[in-house]
Structure 1
Amino acid sequence: MTRTFLFLCHPDHGHVVPTLAIAAELVRRGHDVTYLTAPVMREIVAGTGAGVATYRSRYRDADFAELENDPGYLMSVLLDESEAMLDAAVSELDPVDCVVYDTSVLYAGRILARRWDCASAQTVPFFASNEHFSYLNAMYNDEGGERPAEATPAELPEWVGTTMARIGALSAQHGVDVAPDELWFEIPARSIVTVPREFQYAGESFDDRFVFTGPCIGERGFLGDWSPPGGSAPVVLVSLGAVFNAHKDIFATCVEAFRGRDWHAVVTVGDGIDPAELGELPPNVEVHRWVPHVTVLREAALCVTHGGMGTVMEALSTGTPLVCVPTSALDRPTGWRVRDLGLGALLNPGDVEPEVLADTVDGVLADPAVTAAARRMATAVADAGGASRAADVIEAAPDGTR
């Protein structure tokens, strides 16, 4: 039976891209799928075959330095996005059978599902949270920058109250009678987590409301083409993400680390910097704005990354070891997990010099234990089910259940 689905996601590649294969799979199965996002993502989303609706987003105008250090500011930005999404959805779209929302804009998804009295599913493109592990706490409350703090703050910070008040006002605006804390902290009936359970912190503590599908990797022609360079030099992919990635200093350090070495580096800078800013490149380094990472990773011996979950999952899907250089608090928990599971190495951005990075890459490539761990995680990713399993969960959502 054909059903109608509405996806909601803000314009962040790390959140949109993991859902594309899910939307495409639902379209392939004959369902009517609409995807609400910002205009900048229109072309990427249209490739799934879903209809594309847009809203007025200000997400990319946010101050990333403040996002990194102030959870209250992060919540405010995401509530702004949720409010704009809701305005667009209720004024321009018809109700659907099921709303599929990114967890970062859960306010929009949960309010809309209640307003339309329809089923819903949450997508989680990073670590899931429950009573045993909080990703938000891990980002902003750590132990010396080395691991998530075991305890949460004894007193709720002021920004929590501010966020609660905004959630309450937004719910009331849409005629939804729900306590702000219930809307914010509820564990929905269906959370699709695009990491394997084996990579999740406290993975064994999550019940069957959480479905760990692993990364949902599909066709990504919008990223262009890439061909292996030929020769026997090991390929190393370098990526610092697609949004808020203006890290010329780190990119330049990577170029110098690989200069004259027996590796071939493929560096992707997105819109963070102009590739020309890196100057004359050695013959064993190529720099692009975009390439299909999965295509490169199938040939790569190692990946150097900021620790964004999308790139890390793509690397692990191909059994590729990692060197993580977290450029923000948002990415440190992923880097810690890579280190603790023996899947690669972790470097502090402030410590990254060409010789340090080159030595670290050498060490990871020479460590058979890391290679074996990455291969085991690749098996876990393959067994998790990916986009097909995610579509099964969404497709089976009973009408009117959240």
Structure 2
Amino acid sequence: MNYLFALWEGGGNVPPALSLVRKLVARGHAVTVLGDITMAGEARATGARFRAWERAPSRTSRRREQDLVNDYDIKNPARLIALLREKLVMGPAEAYAADVDLALNERPFDAVVSEYLLFGALVAAEARGVPRIALVPNVYVLPVPGVPPFGTGFLPATGPLSRLRDRIVTGISLMLWNRGLPALNRLRQARGLAPLGAFWDQVGCASKVLVLTSAAFDFKGAYPEKVRHVGAELSDPDWVSPWEPPAQTAPLVLVGLSTMFMNQEATLQRIIDALGCLPTNSIFTTGPAIDPERFSHGDRVQLVRSAPHGCVLRHAALCITHGGHGTLLKALSFGVPVLCLPMGRDQHDNGARLVASGAGLRLDARASAARIEAAARRLLSEPAFTVAAQRLAAIMAEEERAGAAIVELENLSRSSSRSFERINHS
């Protein structure tokens, strides 16, 4: 089969998508990755063909100056939704659609697999009648009955007041997103598609929606029929540096905050100070956006731009993270408890699911070094957290063996190819 992946450089969303690409190529399929120039090397390393965005935004480096969505200092939910809507989902949608059109004109594809936020790519594939999968690289973020509204970090409702809270917040959120509906319908009508009644219906127009997280981690709810939780894709990115475990036998702590700039330097320093009070060794991966030389630390603390988290976690007793989906789920996949300090995006919601699972704790990103130290002590000393993490690890290992994402991708494209052949024969 021949797949077109439409991706954008948003940090943690790239490795899970390229993990799927790598698996498809290994199974003999042809894949073209349409994405930012920053991911060209990683995409080609999977064996895929790479094509850069031409009209749509395309980052040439992972430096903070080139972030498409500079949301690290926005605390107002209405402003954040407006920023995402205008800078990513709808603002460049026509350009994303035009680039997907160019790719589809160049060669036939059996399916388009698009990041769910790239509405332009989804519209272009729909207009051409190409089967399309909307890829959600973290927990499911669209409104679902019984699931707290995305972006709040709420735990599931337990009574009438919290259920009313969820309905009110969901209604306000939908109203803010629906301000992008006129632009979306203009884009659809220009390509001969019927208008939609609600903004997020565009994701529902996909043939399938694949959620790249564990069903055991995400909250239970009445998900739409097209939505499939297919397990997390947790391979390390190709750009990480080698790492050797320390010789000392003290418990090892992995600290990984965002690979994107989220104004995290002060939080990093407080974590360094907190761990300096514990009998542990620690490794901090600061990512491309933060210079590790900027921080003061003791001998038992190692700061590097990158390290293979999969290798580090085999030796770790604790992970401290901002709550990005990739780092958090990877820690849980190794049965390692997590301390989460959310800073934005999906991180508060991931932290809520972590707390609900019993596999970790959540603190405010502004928490003092003393509070971080106390939480880390609990996670290192109370076995219940590790037991809960190991329970999730066993489930995630079974999901990895099942390979549901690849099954869904292959079944969709094969089914559509058979339909195309029947139509051609007729």
Tell me the TM-score normalised to structure 1 length. 0.89
Matching residue of 1:91: 102
Letter in 1 for 2:69: A
Looking at structure 1, the residues matched to 146 and 57 of structure 2 have their Cα atoms a distance apart, in angstroms, of: 30
Consecutive unaligned residues of structure 2, counting only runs of 5 or more, are 59-65, 156-161, 420-426
Question: Are 2:303 and 1:287 equivalent residues in the alignment?
Answer: yes
Secondary structure class of the residue paired with 1:197? coil
Aligned residues: 391
Matching residue of 1:193: 211
Q: Does the Cα contact within 8 Å between 1:260 and 1:282 map onto a contact in 2? A: no
User: By how many angstroms is 1:120 displaced?
Assistant: 1.5
1:209–1:175 CA distance, 2 compared to 1 (3 A)? closer
1:353 counterpart (348, 368, 392): 368
Matching residue of 1:228: 245
1:292–1:300 CA distance, 2 compared to 1 (3 A)? same
Matching residue of 2:22: 24
User: By how many angstroms is 1:123 displaced?
Assistant: 1.6
Q: Does the Cα contact within 8 Å between 2:232 and 2:396 map onto a contact in 1? A: yes
1:273 counterpart (281, 290, 296): 290
Secondary structure class of the residue paired with 1:349? coil
1:240–1:156 CA distance, 2 compared to 1 (3 A)? closer
User: By how many angstroms is 1:150 displaced?
Assistant: 2.4
Secondary structure class of the residue paired with 2:101? helix
* 1:102-124 deviation digits (Å, cap 9, x = unpaired): 1222x134212212211111221
Looking at structure 2, the residues matched to 133 and 17 of structure 1 have their Cα atoms a distance apart, in angstroms, of: 30
Task: Give the 5 Å matches for 1:220-259.
Answer: 220-259=237-276
1:76 counterpart (86, 99, 103): 86
1:124–1:358 CA distance, 2 compared to 1 (3 A)? same
Letter in 1 for 2:411: A
Secondary structure class of the residue paired with 1:177? coil
Q: Does the Cα contact within 8 Å between 1:216 and 1:386 map onto a contact in 2? A: no
Runs of 4+ displaced beyond 6 Å: none
Secondary structure class of the residue paired with 2:234? coil
User: By how many angstroms is 1:10 displaced?
Assistant: 1.0
2:191 counterpart (158, 174, 177): 174
Q: Does the Cα contact within 8 Å between 1:109 and 1:120 map onto a contact in 2? A: no
Matching residue of 2:424: none
Task: Give the 5 Å matches for 1:92-171.
Answer: 92=103, 93-105=106-118, 107-128=119-140, 129=142, 131-132=144-145, 137-140=149-152, 149-153=165-169, 154=171, 159-171=176-188
Looking at structure 1, the residues matched to 294 and 153 of structure 2 have their Cα atoms a distance apart, in angstroms, of: 35
Consecutive unaligned residues of structure 1, counting only runs of 5 or more, are none
Matching residue of 2:69: 62
Percentage of pairs with the same residue: 24
Looking at structure 1, the residues matched to 301 and 214 of structure 2 have their Cα atoms a distance apart, in angstroms, of: 32
Task: Give the 5 Å matches for 1:373-392.
Answer: 373-385=388-400, 388-392=403-407
Looking at structure 1, the residues matched to 238 and 144 of structure 2 have their Cα atoms a distance apart, in angstroms, of: 39
1:369–1:155 CA distance, 2 compared to 1 (3 A)? closer
Q: Does the Cα contact within 8 Å between 2:188 and 2:195 map onto a contact in 1? A: yes
Looking at structure 1, the residues matched to 245 and 38 of structure 2 have their Cα atoms a distance apart, in angstroms, of: 30
Secondary structure class of the residue paired with 1:265? strand
Q: Does the Cα contact within 8 Å between 2:235 and 2:310 map onto a contact in 1? A: no
User: By how many angstroms is 1:91 displaced?
Assistant: 2.5
1:364 counterpart (372, 379, 385): 379
1:365–1:141 CA distance, 2 compared to 1 (3 A)? closer
1:219–1:47 CA distance, 2 compared to 1 (3 A)? farther
RMSD over aligned CA atoms reads: 2.6
Looking at structure 2, the residues matched to 226 and 25 of structure 1 have their Cα atoms a distance apart, in angstroms, of: 25
Letter in 1 for 2:285: T
User: By how many angstroms is 1:371 displaced?
Assistant: 0.9
Q: Does the Cα contact within 8 Å between 1:67 and 1:74 map onto a contact in 2? A: no
Q: Does the Cα contact within 8 Å between 2:98 and 2:124 map onto a contact in 1? A: no
Letter in 2 for 1:71: I
Letter in 2 for 1:284: R
Question: Are 2:321 and 1:305 equivalent residues in the alignment?
Answer: yes
- Greater relative contact order, per chain length (Cα 8 Å cut-off, separation 6+): 1
Letter in 2 for 1:377: L
Looking at structure 2, the residues matched to 22 and 387 of structure 1 have their Cα atoms a distance apart, in angstroms, of: 14
Secondary structure class of the residue paired with 1:196? coil
User: By how many angstroms is 1:298 displaced?
Assistant: 1.4
Secondary structure class of the residue paired with 1:218? coil
Looking at structure 2, the residues matched to 34 and 123 of structure 1 have their Cα atoms a distance apart, in angstroms, of: 16
Looking at structure 2, the residues matched to 101 and 67 of structure 1 have their Cα atoms a distance apart, in angstroms, of: 28
User: By how many angstroms is 1:68 displaced?
Assistant: 6.5
* 1:77-103 deviation digits (Å, cap 9, x = unpaired): 222344332222213443411011112
* 1:111-155 deviation digits (Å, cap 9, x = unpaired): 1221221111122122224532567x3215859xxx994224456
Letter in 1 for 2:230: T
User: By how many angstroms is 1:46 displaced?
Assistant: 1.8
Task: Give the 5 Å matches for 1:45-56.
Answer: 45-55=43-53, 56=56
1:234–1:189 CA distance, 2 compared to 1 (3 A)? same
Looking at structure 2, the residues matched to 328 and 161 of structure 1 have their Cα atoms a distance apart, in angstroms, of: 22
User: By how many angstroms is 1:315 displaced?
Assistant: 0.7
1:113–1:142 CA distance, 2 compared to 1 (3 A)? same
Q: State which drifts further: 270-279 or 61-70.
A: 61-70
